[in-house]
């Protein structure tokens, strides 16, 4: 089983990029997680789209379309969805005729880490209308929201909290089993 994972943070030592790397290392037997980046995505602009979908977007779109599932690792900014991550999903849904190929019926799981006390509960909830609109199948068999992330990750964004690592492994087992 092949999954694709993307982090919605561009920060060099991002907690969410670190959580994604930890997920890659914690995949259950028989499943692999390929990490893809949104760093090279431009701001969405229909004029750019009219010239052609940028190559970095096409690479990620094709990877998601070919994968058995998608793991979204979302930060939470100002109690909502990070702009760079929403921009990436907007690009990945263009042109509209590609939505079904990329997202239609695609199993999607969501996790995230935040320095605050509530993890990424508001960001994860804010993604629901977008995922519903795209026709993705959000897996709701588990939730993983890492609160007080500065205590769970080192200065380079690597997960150091073994309890969180165990919860992540359990979460991934459930997601993979559901696919």
- pLDDT one-digit tens code per residue, 110-161: 999 999 998 999 999 999 999 999 999 999 999 999 999 999 999 999 999 9
Report the pLDDT value the prediction gives residue 25, as an integer from 0 to 100: 98
pTM value is: 0.97
Report the pLDDT value the prediction gives residue 175, as an integer from 0 to 100: 98
Mean pLDDT of the chain: 97
Contact 132, 126 (CB under 8 A): no
Domain count, the chain: 1
CA distances from residue 142 to 19, 25, 52, 112, 169 in whole angstroms, order as listed: 16, 19, 38, 13, 11
From the centroid of its chain, how far is CA 4? 8
Report the pLDDT value the prediction gives residue 156, as an integer from 0 to 100: 96
Nearest to 145 by CA among 76, 71, 83: 76
Query: What is the three-class DSSP state of 158?
Result: coil
Where does the pLDDT of residue 9 fall: very low under 50, low under 70, confident under 90, or very high at 90 and above?
very high
Contact 120, 74 (CB under 8 A): yes
Domain that holds residue 58: 2-178
Report the pLDDT value the prediction gives residue 53, as an integer from 0 to 100: 98
Read off the pLDDT of each residue in 32-54 and give the average, rounded to a whole number.
97
Report the pLDDT value the prediction gives residue 149, as an integer from 0 to 100: 97
- pLDDT one-digit tens code per residue, 102-117: 999 999 999 999 999 9
Q: What percent of the chain has pLDDT over 90?
A: 99
Contact 73, 127 (CB under 8 A): no
Question: Which residues is 73 bridged to in the sheet?
Answer: 7, 111
Report the pLDDT value the prediction gives residue 134, as an integer from 0 to 100: 98
Contact 75, 83 (CB under 8 A): no
Read off the pLDDT of each residue in 12-26 and give the average, rounded to a whole number.
97
Report the pLDDT value the prediction gives residue 44, as an integer from 0 to 100: 97
Q: CATH number of the domain that 153 lies in?
A: 3.40.50.360
Report the pLDDT value the prediction gives residue 5, as an integer from 0 to 100: 98
Q: How many helices (H) and strands (E) does the chain have?
A: 8, 6
Report the pLDDT value the prediction gives residue 115, as an integer from 0 to 100: 94
């Amino acid at each position: 089983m092949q999954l694709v994972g993307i982090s919605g943070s561009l920060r060099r030592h991002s907690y969410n990029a670190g959580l994604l790397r930890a997920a890659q290392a914690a995949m259950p037997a028989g499943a692999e997680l390929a990490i893809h980046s949104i760093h090279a995505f431009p701001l969405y602009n229909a004029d750019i789209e009219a010239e052609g979908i940028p190559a970095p977007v096409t690479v990620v779109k094709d990877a998601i379309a070919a994968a058995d599932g998608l793991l979204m690792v979302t930060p939470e900014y100002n109690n909502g969805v990070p702009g760079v991550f929403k921009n990436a999903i907007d690009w990945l849904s263009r042109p509209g005729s590609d939505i079904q190929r990329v997202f239609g019926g695609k199993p999607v799981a969501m996790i995230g880490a935040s320095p605050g006390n509530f993890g990424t509960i508001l960001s994860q909830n804010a993604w629901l209308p977008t995922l519903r609109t795209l026709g993705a199948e959000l897996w709701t068999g588990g939730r993983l929201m890492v609160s007080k992330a500065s205590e769970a990750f080192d200065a380079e964004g690597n997960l150091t909290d073994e309890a969180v690592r165990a919860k992540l492994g359990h979460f991934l087992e459930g997601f993979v089993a559901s696919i």
